[in-house]
Amino acid sequence: MAPETHTALWILLLPLAAFAVQILFGRRLPRQGDWLPTGAMFVCMMLSLWLFVTRVLASPSGMEPVAWSREWWAVGSADVGGFSLSFGVLIDNLATIMLVVVTVVSFLVHLYSMGYMHGDPRYSRFYAYLALFTFSMLGLCITSNLLFLFMFWELVGVCSYFLIGFWFEKKSASDAAKKAFLTTRVGDLGFFLAITIIAAVAGSLDFKEIFQSVADHKWEGGLLVLAGLLLFLGPVGKSAQFPLHIWLPDAMEGPTPVSALIHAATMVAAGVYLVARMFPFFAGPAFFESGDVSGSETLFVIAMVGGFTALFAATIALVQTDIKKVLAYSTVSQLGYMMLGIGAGSFVAGMFHLFTHAFFKALLFLGSGSVIHAVHSQEMGDMGGLWKKMPVTAWTFLIGTLALAGFPIVFSGFWSKEAVLTQALALGIHKGSMLAMLPFIFGILTAGLTAFYMGRCYVLTFLGRPRDVHKFAHAHESPKAMTIPLLVLAVGAIFAAGVPGAPDGIGHKWFEERTKKEITFDKLGIQTRVASGTPTPRGQPSVEHASGMHHAHEKAHTPTTVLSIAMAILGMGLSYVVFAGRLKNRDLVGQRGPLVACRGVLQNLYYVDRIYSKTIIAFVMMIKEVFFLFDRFVVDGLVNLWGWITRVVAHAAGSIDHGVVDGAVRATGSLTLRAGDSTRKIQTGRIPDYIFLSVFSLALIFALVAIPELKEVLLRIF
């Protein structure tokens, strides 16, 4: 086992151990054991960073993929359509980057919770759940087998359920947890169907084997698209894409550290990670041969869904008054961005956006938690002018906002967004059709809206005059346990895109160099067949992009940069004018024209939830009624019938027992009594009777003795 594997397994199992101890003994430990998972997470973070720095950053192309697996169960032989199942880990650049993201954010959230969750009655259990979640997420990142990924996927969903519904006494919280789990379950159904199809066609669920089967053209075109779409359903649920996005805003019922960890940085990113990992599967055999994946229908669907979700969610975020809801819809929107990037053909762009987004979204959520902690309210209507009272929070939140809005150069968000948009525009240029331009159009519009609503959020929360004087008076900066993570994340938000002095310069190049196709996929040693039909030897890098796509990419660079910067500045500037300018303290939404008309629709979230509850949920409820009636009448009826029969039988047995058995006993008794009564009558107490008896007996004896015939008779009788 290579040292990386060792390290990875330690990173994986430490949180599990922490969970086990915490859940069983947490409450008895000093300080309720919050130091235990936090400490474990610190160690994991250090190990991940060590792996990252020594393996990924150290060399220009990062690390060689390290795989370890053990076969578990095999049916038939892999060539003849059999199936084998093995478990193992795969550590490569991509996995290591994910490890860093998960452990760093998790550790900071653990630290933050010491302040935020202080005094909660179930404090120790919170930490136990956090540890379990981290274990699940880490497992998801390092596994080399799709089935185990699914297992960890489900486990992550379960942890999300626990954590969203942590304050389960509140009905809205437990409802939200249920909604989250059930909605993602719908997606997971597609995921599982895809797994079965893959198992049948590829004969294995190992990534390498799956990719090999794609490269070997084992998949007939239509089936690949179908399996790809089904597989994508999982991320649609987990990463809250339209139409399964409905659970994420409701998930804000959970404590803010939970929102930061799970619903900003990690769990929702699992969907994106899956799509990136399984990229060759979605892209089709063209990925290995020509490198031009723009022909893949599955990828285009992913891009469209992602782009649409991004725009859709951004419009809703415009009219939210709850700060966490703004961030929630923003997350949905940004996840759409990531999907857009991957779907447009660059999984590097999508993953890079995931990387930067993790930092600044976690930062924003924790910052909002800080504000909520100070003001004891989540409504922006109660806020305003807080930068005076909470400088650290205000500054870090500003950094997060600028990063999210895509403020140029300095902030990492700009670089990742640019990568995504460039790829989207390149796709549009390459394919040349209006349809292909749609993802880009969605993307660029979203960029503008993002800047606008984040600006609005910032202005309403921190600038201007306080709207609720009472709350304002009580507001204060948060304890160090909460502000330190904010500072760390702010640094990450800026530098996640590299520093000017570093080897690969600023921007996404450092990321791209280490995760591009040649490194991530070709190094797995997939045998491919080029157009000439002869298999190429292992590890030989194939053509990077087809020249057409490459060309388009070059052409797309400049317009994208210009437009994205324009959108960012325009959006933020406009928001300042609208909300901080003449219309200070007015209605949080703004009174201007078209927004008012749409406001109703937007505030009702496009009625998506309403539609769902009227149709699908109503149908399920109807089925529930049917089953309930069945249960009540048929099942319970049978049970009651059985009970009735038992009673009747018992009755009969009882009667028999009473009549026959007891009767016999009673009869014996009464017989004896009556015999006694009769016999007693002899004792009349009257002397003449006694005399008679004795005389009579005497005479009888005389007769017996004297008359031999009588003796004979008597002897014969007896």
- Compute the CA torsion angle 324, 329, 334, 336 (nearest 10 deg): 150
- Compute the CA torsion angle 485, 489, 491, 493 (nearest 10 deg): -170
Comparison of 500 and 685: residue with beta carbon closer to another protein: 685
CA–CA dist 333, 587 (Å, integer): 24
688 touches another protein by CB under 8 A: yes
Closest separation between CB of residue 668 and another protein, Å?
A: 22
619 touches another protein by CB under 8 A: no
Task: Please name the residue that has the structure tokens 């009888």.
Answer: 700
Closest separation between CB of residue 694 and another protein, Å?
A: 10
**If you count DSSP H runs as helices and E runs as strands, how many of each does the chain have, helices first?**
31, 2
Q: From the list 70, 171, 582, 680, which residue makes contact with another protein (rule: CB under 8 A)?
A: 680
Q: Are 220 and 228 in contact (CB under 8 A)?
A: no
Closest separation between CB of residue 674 and another protein, Å?
A: 15
692 touches another protein by CB under 8 A: yes
Comparison of 597 and 682: residue with beta carbon closer to another protein: 682
CA–CA dist 368, 460 (Å, integer): 12
687 touches another protein by CB under 8 A: yes
Distances (CA, A) of 704 to 698, 711, 712: 10, 6, 9
Judged by DSSP in three states, 594 sits in helix
Q: From the list 540, 585, 668, 684, which residue makes contact with another protein (rule: CB under 8 A)?
A: 684
Comparison of 677 and 709: residue with beta carbon closer to another protein: 677
Distances (CA, A) of 653 to 63, 185, 663: 82, 54, 14
Comparison of 537 and 688: residue with beta carbon closer to another protein: 688
CA–CA dist 374, 370 (Å, integer): 6
80 touches another protein by CB under 8 A: no
Closest separation between CB of residue 697 and another protein, Å?
A: 12
CA–CA dist 546, 266 (Å, integer): 33
Supply 113's token pair. 């919770």
CA–CA dist 538, 212 (Å, integer): 12
Which ranges constitute the DSSP H helices of 143-206? 146-164, 171-202
678 touches another protein by CB under 8 A: no
The dihedrals phi and psi of 622, each to the nearest 5 degrees, come to -65, -45
Does the bond joining 439 to the residue before it have cis omega, within 30 degrees of 0? no
Q: Which stretch binds another protein (CB under 8 A): 14-22, 91-99, 114-122, 681-689?
A: 681-689
Closest separation between CB of residue 714 and another protein, Å?
A: 23
Q: From the list 537, 594, 685, 708, which residue makes contact with another protein (rule: CB under 8 A)?
A: 685
CA–CA dist 483, 158 (Å, integer): 29
695 touches another protein by CB under 8 A: yes
Comparison of 28 and 680: residue with beta carbon closer to another protein: 680
Q: Which stretch binds another protein (CB under 8 A): 269-277, 481-489, 592-600, 683-691?
A: 683-691
Q: Which stretch binds another protein (CB under 8 A): 42-50, 228-236, 489-497, 676-684?
A: 676-684
Closest separation between CB of residue 642 and another protein, Å?
A: 58
Contacts (Cβ under 8 Å, ≥6 apart) of 571:
405, 447, 448, 449, 450, 451, 452, 454, 455
Closest separation between CB of residue 650 and another protein, Å?
A: 45
# binding residues, another protein (CB under 8 A): 10
In the window 474-513, what residues touch another protein (CB under 8 A)? none
Q: Which stretch binds another protein (CB under 8 A): 176-184, 217-225, 640-648, 687-695?
A: 687-695
Closest separation between CB of residue 656 and another protein, Å?
A: 38
Comparison of 634 and 698: residue with beta carbon closer to another protein: 698
Q: Which stretch binds another protein (CB under 8 A): 257-265, 553-561, 610-618, 686-694?
A: 686-694
Closest separation between CB of residue 649 and another protein, Å?
A: 48
CA–CA dist 506, 496 (Å, integer): 9
706 touches another protein by CB under 8 A: no
Closest separation between CB of residue 713 and another protein, Å?
A: 24
Comparison of 653 and 698: residue with beta carbon closer to another protein: 698
CA–CA dist 464, 386 (Å, integer): 8
Q: Which stretch binds another protein (CB under 8 A): 80-88, 91-99, 349-357, 680-688?
A: 680-688
Closest separation between CB of residue 654 and another protein, Å?
A: 39
Q: Are 326 and 457 in contact (CB under 8 A)?
A: yes
Comparison of 59 and 684: residue with beta carbon closer to another protein: 684
Distances (CA, A) of 600 to 380, 606, 607, 615: 19, 9, 10, 21
Comparison of 470 and 686: residue with beta carbon closer to another protein: 686
CA–CA dist 498, 502 (Å, integer): 7
Closest separation between CB of residue 709 and another protein, Å?
A: 21
As a three-state string, the secondary structure of 190-228 is HHHHHHHHHHHHHCECEHHHHHHHHHCCCCCHHHHHHHH
683 touches another protein by CB under 8 A: yes
Footprint of another protein (CB under 8 A): 680, 683-688, 691-692, 695
